[in-house]
Amino acid sequence: MRIVIAGGHGQIALRLERLLAGRGDEVAGIIRRPEQAGDLLAAGAEPVVCDLESASVEDVARHLEDADAAVFAAGAGPGSGAGRKDSVDRGAAALFADAAEAAGVRRFLVISSMGADREPPEDTDPVFAAYLRAKGAADADVRARAGLYWTILRPGRLTNEPGTGRVTLADATGRGEVSRDDVAAVLAELLGQPATAGRTLELIGGDVPVPEAVRNVAAH
């Protein structure tokens, strides 16, 4: 497969790139800053410099030509304000989906967040609340697109602990932690399971091996 990842320098994206390249897939990562290219090359990915906050649909669609799948892993990141949560976590997601449709790429994965489907509690940090609202709006936008075989993945609290290769993956899991290693492993498996299209899935650490967890979801 050829897979294009938006937010190619993110912590989960770099892990995913290494996994995909290691199994023989062709992978490209969209990055904003040219100085990030070396990290992608080291992960086995082709770096593509393109600013999703200023690019046109046509610009991004050119990078998606001949791709078999697209993964939205971009985010405004720590230290960014509410405005960039909207422009990246919502706006760039919609742009990337528009570009995928324009390029004829049907398989579309999104890394979202638990809590994105509901209004944040009143005592939520304002910037984090803006992030959750942006993610929720992005998810709603993607779900409305009949032209995409989308799957939305909502991990629990992310950690940098080594992956266990065992998870809980379901429509609803309850709160919990999950390592970025295991999130990347689940994404890699989801790419090969188009039967998970149209699903919004929550992910936390658990006892089920990743390939089995994804197969179980695909079968129900």
Active-site residues, by number, are: 131
- Sequence-distant (≥ 6) Cβ neighbours of residue 187 within 8 angstroms: 12, 16, 71, 109, 111, 153
The 3-state DSSP class for residue 70 equals strand
Residue 19 Cα to chain centre, angstroms: 15
Return the ∠ at Cα 80 (arms to 50 and 115), rounded to 5°. 100
For 58-69, give the DSSP string.
HHHHHHHTT-SE
Give the helix ranges, DSSP H, for the chain: 11-22, 37-42, 57-64, 82-84, 93-103, 126-143, 180-191, 210-218
Dihedral sign computed on CA atoms, order 114, 181, 150, 44: positive
| Residue whose structure tokens are 């994105």 | 116
- N-term to C-term CA, the chain: 25
Provide the CB-side half-sphere exposure for 12 (13 A, CA): 28
